[in-house]
Structure 1
């Protein structure tokens, strides 16, 4: 009996143990299967998320490339526009040069006294008759002699001739008009600025003068102020010159034909304008061609540059 009781007790204990282990395994299986399924769903969502991120990044990169492509196209387009603008500027400059040349070679007209009419006649040739007042000469300096052919050849260059002197401005009483004007008689070298060094050219009798109407100037940057006390003028200020000499604010440049032997050399009107537009045209169109080729290679042929 004791043996049977002990066997029964052992069997009951073993059965209980096995039952508990079976329940644990079942429970573990019950909780394990959903986890495996959950992991599978999570992996699928992660893969889908990664694929979505990759697609979004690709679209963003494509959008950036498209923006860069059309933005860089602005460079050749802008340079082409600037080159075309310079073509038009060159045509305008050539027309202006032709107009100035026509005015300075036209037949001279009598000097009008109407200030409004004079303001519209700059560079127009006029003729006057009268006498110089050499006692009130003014000197615009430093100046170099005008050589129209040389200036046309060297227009826009920074080099200049080493010769320096002054333009002699002399009051001129117009006997037929009854007024006194200012006449730029022309250029004298530095050693001939003083009147006593060129007495042969200081004529006292009445003379005919043909010249070009000039208007007052505004002082340009870096140009010194006029020194009235020392009689050193750097730009044409008709009001100040009129106050000093008592002449009317009318100014003409005497032409070369009005030159008196031994006196200042006339024809000192500078009508040559800087015309560098062809250089600008070549520069802008050259940049347009170069940048257009680079754009084509980069975005059309897809070659790395």
Structure 2
């Protein structure tokens, strides 16, 4: 029996650790889903006026409604959608009726519509405030001369268009010609991989137990 003891203890202990990691990931999944539900509720809440002193943590995804006029130029942010493919987000200055100048993400246009003229227009926009974190070390530098932006860099865009560093992403738009399709913020882009991690840990536990069983079988064969 001594020859069985060490492999059996190691096998059961290793499997217990792997199963515990899987259970922990399921707990993390429940926690993350609760957060995503809270974000979805915040996104779709009754809109309010623009806050006087917006905070990137407190006011992230805040639903707001504002009326005003778009600027005379826009910035083009490269993006891809599942249904259409490559295209651009149109980000412009937006001067509200109260005189504030903020950034407005009007939405999506196809790649062929990148340079279509979009003159200033009065709009009433319902959407969400957001401070997207889209740049990492692999993101190319923006090509300002060709008006190709590879991330929504709030501070850089605000400096380029002379606005507050505040981005409103349109969900519903009243006014305009409808040439720009809103691409609203949602929680789908927030990573939630905990279920996959849990499956991986449970799968490793099964493999570990299988290897342990194989080792015990080999020991038994040597004893016969």
Structure 2: which 5+ residue stretches go unaligned? none
Task: State whether residues 258 and 266 of structure 1, in contact with CA within 8 Å, keep that contact through their aligned partners in structure 2.
Answer: no
User: Deviation of residue 195 (structure 1)?
Assistant: 3.0
User: Normalization by structure 2: what TM-score?
Assistant: 0.84
Query: Comparing both structures, which one devotes a greater share of its residues to strand?
Result: 2
Q: Secondary structure at the match of 1:84?
A: helix
Q: Greater helix percent: which structure?
A: 1
Greater than 6 Å deviation, 4+ residue runs? none
User: Is 1:181 aligned to residue 102 of structure 2?
Assistant: yes
2:76 corresponds to: 139
TM, length-normalised to structure 1: 0.64
Provide the aligned length of Structure 1 versus Structure 2: 221
CA distance in 2 between counterparts of 1:285 and 1:217 reads 33
What whole-Å deviation, never above 9, does each CA across 1:10-51 have from its counterpart, x for those lacking one? Answer: xxxxxxxxxxxxxxxxxxxxxxxxxxxxxxxxxxxxxxxxxx
d(CA) in 2 for partners of 1:258, 1:78: 56
Q: Secondary structure at the match of 1:73?
A: helix
Which residue of the other structure, out of 115, 122, 127, is the alignment partner of 1:194?
115
Which residue of structure 2 lines up, in the alignment, with residue 234 of structure 1? 150
Q: CA deviation at 1:299?
A: 4.6
Where do residues 108-257 of structure 1 align in structure 2 (5 Å cutoff)?
108-116=47-55, 118-133=56-71, 135-141=72-78, 143-145=79-81, 160=82, 163-176=85-98, 178-196=99-117, 202=119, 204=121, 206-217=122-133, 219-257=135-173
The higher relative CO (CA closer than 8 Å, separation ≥ 6) is in 2
> What root-mean-square deviation, in Å, do the aligned CA atoms of Structure 1 and Structure 2 show?
2.9
Q: Who is 1:280 aligned against?
A: 197
Unmatched tracts of structure 1, length 5 or more: 1-61, 146-159
Distance 1:259 1:283 in 2: 50
Distance (Å, rounded) in 1 between the aligned partners of 2:11 and 2:17: 10
Deviation for aligned residue 1:168: 0.3
